[in-house]
Structure 1
């Protein structure tokens, strides 16, 4: 486990991002009972990512994000923006948070016409027939973050916002 944490720290450092530590990751006080290990293996929520399929360095960045977020393969889905009627809630009843990478993805999924600069740091709603409103966080494309590494902090802010939204659901 320590190797994973060191690897995640190295990835964040390479991205120029300060490491964020969840309160849940803090050591328990000796008066508290240890967490049930079976509860830790259960998915905490589902992440939907929308945008053009990442390639090359952008794909590596995305895989690093998945690793840093600690997501298992059953906890996330990447999809190019499509007809929303083709999206279906996963079999589990877990809450969903979504991130749209790029202005075109945001527009395709929400119908918003404002610029991505105006929409960033807001929580939009993804409406899918038969499902509750799903929070959607707008972000720049992964290629943007590769070409402008100084903006990777914005990506980290978007991920933290999405994580906090998911925890509040």
Structure 2
């Protein structure tokens, strides 16, 4: 099968073709010598602008990988988020705009005091038990690993949380 035929079949199946990126520019020895030697020499002092509180069962294994990918996709710095167990509802030690995000029905119930099914709590901005802090509920990370199709819905929940945070 030729490359052209393979491309046609992949396109008909709705599969995107991947191609290798071209290699980056090559630098002269002088340019390489003037470049910083360690990553710390290239760091800038990034000041957090927002703060996320993620609640739920502590992720491990594939769930932890998924969570790290979520944080990366949101573009959050390490200093802009914190993972908490649902029992930890103390106010955050920050003056930054803050949002709480609950992974899973149990966390959402515990934090909001609501007892509706998760499907009814999604797409709604709740309040974190008496702290006047907005709370958005979504699926548990383990659920997202079992039902990858729901990742798109979870991403919508994350975008809702980000829009609420931007309006604070």
Please, what TM-score do these two structures have when normalized by structure 2? 0.70
Tell me what 2:105 maps to.
Answer: 103
Distance in 2 separating the partners of 1:42 and 1:69: 16
Tell me what 2:76 maps to.
Answer: 71
Contact 2:113/2:129 (8 A) holds in 1: no
Contact 2:99/2:135 (8 A) holds in 1: yes
Out of 56, 59, 68, the position equivalent to 2:64 is 59
Distance in 2 separating the partners of 1:141 and 1:42: 30
Tell me what 2:129 maps to.
Answer: 127
Task: Please say which structure displays the higher CA radius of gyration.
Answer: 2
Query: SS of 2:102's equivalent?
Result: strand
Cα deviations across residues 111-150 of structure 1 (Å, max 9, x unaligned)?
A: 100000111100000134xx5x110001010111110011
Please, what TM-score do these two structures have when normalized by structure 1? 0.70
Tell me what 1:88 maps to.
Answer: 91
Deviation at 1:88, TM superposition (A): 2.9
Distance in 1 separating the partners of 2:156 and 2:74: 13
Question: Can you give the 5+ residue segments of structure 2 that lack an aligned partner in the other structure?
Answer: 1-44
Tell me what 1:157 maps to.
Answer: 156
Cα deviations across residues 75-107 of structure 1 (Å, max 9, x unaligned)?
A: 1010111152xx1322x3101101101111011
* Large movers: runs of 4+ above 2 Å: none
Q: Does 1:114 align with 2:116?
A: yes
Distance in 2 separating the partners of 1:111 and 1:69: 27
> 1:39-58, aligned counterparts within 5 Å?
41-58=46-63
Deviation at 1:69, TM superposition (A): 1.0
Number of residues of Structure 1 aligned to a counterpart in Structure 2: 124
Question: Can you give the 5+ residue segments of structure 1 that lack an aligned partner in the other structure?
Answer: 1-39
Q: CA RMSD in A?
A: 1.4
> 1:141-152, aligned counterparts within 5 Å?
141-152=140-151
